[in-house]
Chain A
C-alpha cells in the first residue's frame, strides 16, 4: 500500500478519477457539491477585492499623472456642453410633463418598469477562453434568488445586453456573457414587426467579440447596420433590450443564412453590471425572506 501511495502514476490516476467523480456529481441539479466552494470564497474574495482595488488605484494614479492636460482641455469643452445641456434640460422638463400626462391617458407602461434592477460590480473575469463565467458581487444576501430553469438578463450602464445570470450564491452570482457558447437569446430587428431570429455565442467568433445570428428567414434578411434588440420570445428576457448591430450577413446558403452581430456593450471593459429581476420573482423572494424571518 505504501509503495502504491508513492507511485506517482497511481496517485495521479486516482486523483483524476476522484476529481472526475466530483465533476459528475457537481453537474447534478441541486448537488450539495455546488456549495462546497463556499469556504474558498471566504479566503479568496477579500484578497481578490484587495488586488482589484490596488490595481484600480495604480491605474487611477497613472491616469491622473498622464491625463492632466487632456482633462483640462476636456473640462473647457464639458463646461460648454453643460451650458448647452442646461438649456435642453429646461425644454425636456416640459416634454416630460407632457409625456407623463400622455402615459396616464393611454396607460403606457415604461419599458422595464416591471423589473427590479440590481447593480453589482464585476469581481472576476474570464480566466481563459473556456473558463468564461464571470463573478459579480451580488447574491442571496442582497435579495436575489434564482430558481432552477430561470435566468435574469444582465445589462450594462446603457441598458445594453451583456449576458445572463446562471447561478446565484450567497454573496456572488455567476454570469454567462453573450459572446460565449451556450448563450442564446431571441432577437429582432428594432423596427415595427422586425424579423426575429436567434442570437448566440459562437466559439469561432468570441475572440473577435462577435455573436452569431441564425434562424434568419430568407424573405426577411437583416441588413448590415441594423440594430438588434431582444424580442421577448421565450420569456427569459424582456422585450426591447438593445443587443448590438449586424456587422455582416452570409446568405450564400439559402437554407442556412447567418449573420454576425457586434454587441453594443464592451465586454472587455466591464466594471458594473445591472441585473433585471422580474417583479413577480422579486416579490416571491421578498416574501420568502420575511417568512424566514418570522419562523
Chain B
C-alpha cells in the first residue's frame, strides 16, 4: 500500500483530468508517429505525404499553449528521429542518419505554433488552420534553403531544384495535404483531445496577454 502514498500518484488519482491529459497525449503521440511512418501514403499526392506528426504538433501547440506544445513536439521529434531520420551527407561524403533534426524541427514548430498571432487575436479554429499553413510554408521554404546551402558546401552533392519546382512539387502540395490532414486532427483534438471541451484550463487561468482564452466557435 505504500506505493499509493507517492505524491505524484496521489495527485494523479485525485485529478482524473490529468490522467486523461497524459493518456490522450501518449496515445496520440505513439499512434500518429507510427501511423506516419507505417502508412505514409494514406494522404498522398505527387510523391508527397501529409505530415500528420507535424500537423498535430502545430495544432496541439496552438490550441493548448506553449508548454503542452513544446513537450509534445519534443517527444514527437525524438520518435521521428528514431523511426525515420533524415539522411545527412557529411563534408567527407559519408551518408549517415542525422539525429536531432526531427527534434529541432518539432520544438521550433511548437514554439511558432503556440505563439501564432495569439498576442493580438484570440485563439480560434480558423487561425489553427492558418497556423498549419504558415508553419508548413516556413518549414518547407527554410528546409529547401538549408539543403541548397548544404549541397553547395559539400562537394559532389547537387541540389538542382528550381524555385518553380520547389513550389510545384514540394511546398504547395505539402501545404495542401497538411491542411487536409489538419481538419480531422483538429476535430479529434477539439472533441476527443487531452482537455475536456478542447480548452486548456491553464490558458484561461493565465492572465498574461500572450495566452488568451480559447474562443469557442
Give A contacts to B, CB under 8 Å. Answer: 8, 11-12, 15-16, 19-20, 22-23, 26-27, 29, 33-34, 36-37, 40-41, 43-44, 47-48, 51-52, 55, 123-135, 149, 166-167, 174, 176, 180-184, 202-204, 206-209, 268
A133 touches B84 (CB 8 A): yes
Q: A12-B70, A48-B38, A203-B160 are in contact. Are A127 and B83 (CB under 8 A)?
A: yes
CB of B78 within 8 A of chain A? yes
User: What are 22 A-B residue pairs whose CB atoms fall within 8 Å in the complex?
Assistant: A19-B107, A26-B98, A34-B99, A44-B30, A44-B83, A48-B83, A124-B34, A125-B40, A126-B84, A127-B36, A127-B53, A128-B51, A128-B54, A129-B47, A130-B143, A135-B37, A135-B84, A167-B96, A181-B151, A183-B95, A203-B147, A204-B161
Q: In the complex, A29 Cα to B39 Cα: how many Å?
A: 32
Chain A residue at minimal CB-CB distance from B210 = A8
Given contacts A23-B104, A135-B37, 12 further A-B contacts (CB under 8 A): A8-B111, A23-B98, A26-B98, A40-B79, A55-B38, A126-B49, A130-B143, A166-B87, A174-B97, A180-B87, A181-B151, A204-B160
Taking CB atoms, residues of chain B closer than 8 Å to A180 are: 87
Task: Tell me the minimal C-beta distance from B69 to chain A in angstroms.
Answer: 10
Taking CB atoms, residues of chain A closer than 8 Å to B80 are: 127, 131
CB of B21 within 8 A of chain A? no
Taking CB atoms, residues of chain A closer than 8 Å to B9 are: none
A209 touches B47 (CB 8 A): yes
Chain A residue at minimal CB-CB distance from B110 = A12
Q: Mark B28-52, 1 if CB is under 8 A from A, else 0.
A: 0011011111111100001111010
Report the interface size for chain B: residues with CB under 8 A from the other chain: 65
Task: Tell me the minimal C-beta distance from B155 to chain A in angstroms.
Answer: 13
Taking CB atoms, residues of chain B closer than 8 Å to A16 are: 104, 107-108, 111
B103 touches A22 (CB 8 A): yes
Taking CB atoms, residues of chain B closer than 8 Å to A135 are: 37, 83-84
Q: A22-B100, A22-B103, A207-B170 are in contact. Are A133 and B86 (CB under 8 A)?
A: yes
Task: Tell me the minimal C-beta distance from B7 to chain A in angstroms.
Answer: 22
CB of B101 within 8 A of chain A? yes
Chain A residue at minimal CB-CB distance from B36 = A127
Taking CB atoms, residues of chain B closer than 8 Å to A8 are: 66, 111, 114-115, 210
Taking CB atoms, residues of chain B closer than 8 Å to A181 are: 87, 89, 147, 151, 157, 159
Taking CB atoms, residues of chain A closer than 8 Å to B104 are: 16, 19-20, 23
Q: In the complex, A51 Cα to B79 Cα: how many Å?
A: 15
B160 touches A202 (CB 8 A): yes
CB of B197 within 8 A of chain A? no
Q: A23-B98, A44-B82 are in contact. Are A125 and B70 (CB under 8 A)?
A: no
B49 touches A12 (CB 8 A): no
Q: In the complex, A36 Cα to B108 Cα: how many Å?
A: 21
Q: A11-B70, A37-B81, A127-B84 are in contact. Are A207 and B46 (CB under 8 A)?
A: yes
Task: Tell me the minimal C-beta distance from A140 to chain B in angstroms.
Answer: 16
Taking CB atoms, residues of chain B closer than 8 Å to A36 are: 99
Chain A residue at minimal CB-CB distance from B168 = A207
Q: In the complex, A62 Cα to B155 Cα: how many Å?
A: 49
User: Which of B66, B83, B104, B210 lies at the interface centre, i.e. has the most chain A CB atoms within 10 A of its CB?
Assistant: B83
A124 touches B81 (CB 8 A): no
Task: Tell me the minimal C-beta distance from B174 to chain A in angstroms.
Answer: 7
A44 touches B100 (CB 8 A): no
Taking CB atoms, residues of chain A closer than 8 Å to B30 are: 43-44, 47
B48 touches A40 (CB 8 A): no
CB of B127 within 8 A of chain A? no
Taking CB atoms, residues of chain B closer than 8 Å to A41 are: 82
Set B38, B86, B151: member contacting A51, Cβ < 8 A: B38
A132 touches B115 (CB 8 A): no
User: Which of B81, B143, B160 lies at the interface centre, i.e. has the most chain A CB atoms within 10 A of its CB?
Assistant: B81
Q: In the complex, A136 Cα to B25 Cα: how many Å?
A: 27
User: Which of B49, B54, B99, B162 lies at the interface centre, i.e. has the most chain A CB atoms within 10 A of its CB?
Assistant: B99
